[in-house]
Every structure is written in structure tokens, then in C-alpha cells.
Amino acid sequence: IKEIKEEEFEPIGETTPVSESVVEETKSTPNMELPENVEKLVAFMKETGGDMTDYMRLNADYSTVDDNILLQEYYTQTKPHLDNEEINFIMEDKFKWDEEYDEERDIKKKKLALKEEVAEAKGYLEGLKSKYYEELKLRPSVTNEQKKATDFFNRYNEEQEIVQQRHNTFKNSTKDYFTNDFKGFDFDLGEKKFRYGVKNPSEVATKQSNITNTIKKFLDDKGNVKDVKGYHKAMYAAENVDKIAQHFYEQGKSDATKDLVAKSKNISEDVRPSPTGDVFVGGLKVKAISGLDSSKLKIKTRKFN
């Protein structure tokens, strides 16, 4: 940690929010033409009994999905007779390892098995996408429900594209921030400013490019917050980091001052012994006596045989 004497800080500009377009619903006419994907959606619902959520999930970009989430989706599709707890048990039994206790050969076998299963899952899920999500083509005579589904589908794709663009912009900004003369994080402690250096900025940049990496430790397998205390502690600390740093800085100064004052006093509670008044002169013990005749000096000798 290094104190900052003088430095200019650039304000962070706010991002202009992208407004969502409102699509006005119109009544269908006999000559209206809509994309062929609507027919695919109807076929999907009849074939699988799924709904719009299931249909949209097949449009996900599986190349960017976490391996565990990908396998959960794959097993949900191919093993509908199993619930989430049973699927998680199978995944842990087949692919989880402990580098501290497991043999190196066993770990390698599980890594290879995981790699093979992920590749198979991607192929299967991409196959479902190609079946239901083809390039949109116009066709005549479509129902009002199909028109609603198409409008919703188009808006969803547009929103997903906007989200992806924002994420890419954020990733590029993060990369530039951590590579262009990055020296550490600055903290304002009121009377002083300090900088906290980071040893591996590239690793921090990668982790912080996705907010999910930060909050997933507070969530369970279903996405519910399991650690409410830790979540709110982290969120509060993130919003009040300078205030918290200043608090501990002031507390440290106060503790140091108290310790210095206590040491400087060096108070001892031991009682000093009072002098007896005895003095030895040439083998004689002389004692000063206080009182009415304190002006007189008495000498007491001891005879030795």
C-alpha cells in the first residue's frame, strides 16, 4: 500500500441507457406474411410440450456457457426422469475430484471424461438449435398468437444483441483499464489517499469482466441466494469501500496513540521499601532516632569474644 501525495482522478462517465423499442401490436390480415420460425415454434410446442421459455433457451450461445450449467441443461433434456438433485449427484460422482486426496491418474481420467461429456452436450444442444432456429423466411397466413410469438422472439433477439454489445464494450474497457499504466486501486481516507497495488491485474480483469463470477459464491445450484449475510456484506462493502477503509485507518491511528501513551507512562505499582535509618561506620551500627531527643546521637556497640 502506497500513499498518494498528488494525483488527478478522472471521473467515470455514466453510460447512456439504451431505450427499449415498443412494438405496437396490430391485427392480423389474411395477406400478412411472417417468418417460418413461427411454424417451428408451434411444432416444438406440440412435439415436446414445452413453452416459449424452453424455445428461447435453445437460442443460447453454448460456447460461452459454464461447463457445469451446460451439462445440467444437457441432462435435463436427455434425462427428464431425473430431478436436479439426482443430476447433481451424477455430475459430482463422474466429474468431481480433489487434487489433495485423489491420484493424479484418476484426476486426469475425470478431466478427460468431463471434456468428452461437454463436447457431446454442446453437439446435442446445438443440434436442437439448428432444428428450431433457422433463418427467418416470410410465409402467408399466420395467426395472431403466432404474430405475438414472433414479435416477442424478435424483441428477445434484439435485447440479447444489445446485452452482448454492452458486455463486449465493458470487457474492452476493463482490459484497457488494467493494461494501460494500471498501478492499483486508490482509496480516499479523507486527509490522505492511499493506493493498493495488485500483483496479478490480468487475472483480476478476467474475473471482474463478468459479475456472475463475483456473486455466484453466494448462490446455490438453482440461483437462489444461500448466503444472505455474506451477500449483503459484500454489496455494502462495495458501495462504501472508501468509508470502510477510512474507518479502519482512523481506528489504527487511535490504537497506536493509546499504545504510545501507555508505554510512555511506564507506571509501576510496586511499593518502594522505606529506609531503616541504619548506617554502618567502621564496624559500628549507627541508627538515627527521631523524636524528642532526636538531636542526640546514640551509639550502640556489640562485643565479640
> Of 111-115, 119-123, 127-131, which gets the smallest average pLDDT?
127-131
**Between these two residues, 177 and 279, which has the higher pLDDT value?**
177
In a domain, 56, yes or no: yes
250: cell is: 482512523
Q: At which of 230, 246, 262 does a domain end?
A: 246
Name every residue whose Cβ is closer than 8 Å to that of residue 197 and which is 6 or more positions away in sequence.
Answer: 1, 2, 183, 184
Q: How far is CA 110 from CA 88, 101, 221, in A?
A: 15, 14, 21
In a domain, 273, yes or no: no
Q: Are residues 173 and 76 in the same domain?
A: yes
Local confidence band at 29 (pLDDT 50, 70, 90 cut-offs): very low
Q: Are residues 168 and 190 in the same domain?
A: no
User: Does residue 177 carry a pLDDT above 90?
Assistant: no
User: Does residue 31 carry a pLDDT above 50?
Assistant: no
In a domain, 104, yes or no: yes
Q: Are residues 151 and 241 in the same domain?
A: no
In the chain, the number of structural domains is 2
Nearest of 29, 33, 53, 32 to residue 41 by alpha carbon? 53
Q: At which of 158, 179, 200 does a domain end?
A: 179
Sign, Cα dihedral of 99, 103, 106, 111 = positive
278: β partners? 287
Q: Are residues 102 and 174 in the same domain?
A: yes
Mean per-residue pLDDT of the chain: 74
CB 58, CB 129: distance < 8 Å = yes
Q: Are residues 38 and 166 in the same domain?
A: yes
In a domain, 271, yes or no: no
In a domain, 274, yes or no: no
- Interatomic CA distance for residues 58 and 40, integer angstroms: 12
Q: At which of 200, 229, 246 does a domain end?
A: 246
In a domain, 276, yes or no: no
DSSP 58: T
* Element spanning 108, H or E: helix 104-132
Q: What is the pLDDT of residue 116?
A: 93
Convert the pLDDT of each residue in 143-168 to its tens digit.
677 778 888 888 988 998 998 898 88
- Interatomic CA distance for residues 139 and 76, integer angstroms: 33
- Interatomic CA distance for residues 147 and 28, integer angstroms: 8
Q: Are residues 82 and 116 in the same domain?
A: yes
In a domain, 190, yes or no: yes
Range of the domain at 231: 183-246
Q: Are residues 189 and 175 in the same domain?
A: no
Question: What string of H, E and C letters represents the secondary structure of 48-94?
Answer: HCCCHHHHHHCCCCHHHCCHHHHHHHHHHHHCCCCCHHHHHHHHHHH
Q: Are residues 196 and 160 in the same domain?
A: no
**Between these two residues, 81 and 40, which has the higher pLDDT value?**
81
Q: Are residues 63 and 196 in the same domain?
A: no
**Between these two residues, 223 and 137, which has the higher pLDDT value?**
223
In a domain, 82, yes or no: yes
Count CB neighbours of 149 within 10 A.
20
Q: Are residues 54 and 116 in the same domain?
A: yes
- Interatomic CA distance for residues 132 and 43, integer angstroms: 9
Q: What is the pLDDT of residue 139?
A: 39
Local confidence band at 295 (pLDDT 50, 70, 90 cut-offs): low
Long-range contacts formed by 140-145: CB under 8 A, 24+ apart: 140/31, 140/32, 140/33, 141/30, 141/32, 142/28, 142/32, 142/33, 142/34, 142/38, 143/28, 144/27, 144/28
User: Does residue 222 carry a pLDDT above 90?
Assistant: no
Q: How far is CA 267 from CA 243, 260, 262, in A?
A: 37, 13, 8
DSSP 219: B
**Between these two residues, 209 and 59, which has the higher pLDDT value?**
209
Q: Are residues 106 and 205 in the same domain?
A: no
| pTM score above 0.85 | no
Cα dihedral 112, 118, 123, 127, rounded to 10, equals 160
Q: What is the pLDDT of residue 119?
A: 92
Q: Are residues 162 and 197 in the same domain?
A: no
SS3 60: coil
Nearest of 82, 87, 53, 55 to residue 68 by alpha carbon? 87
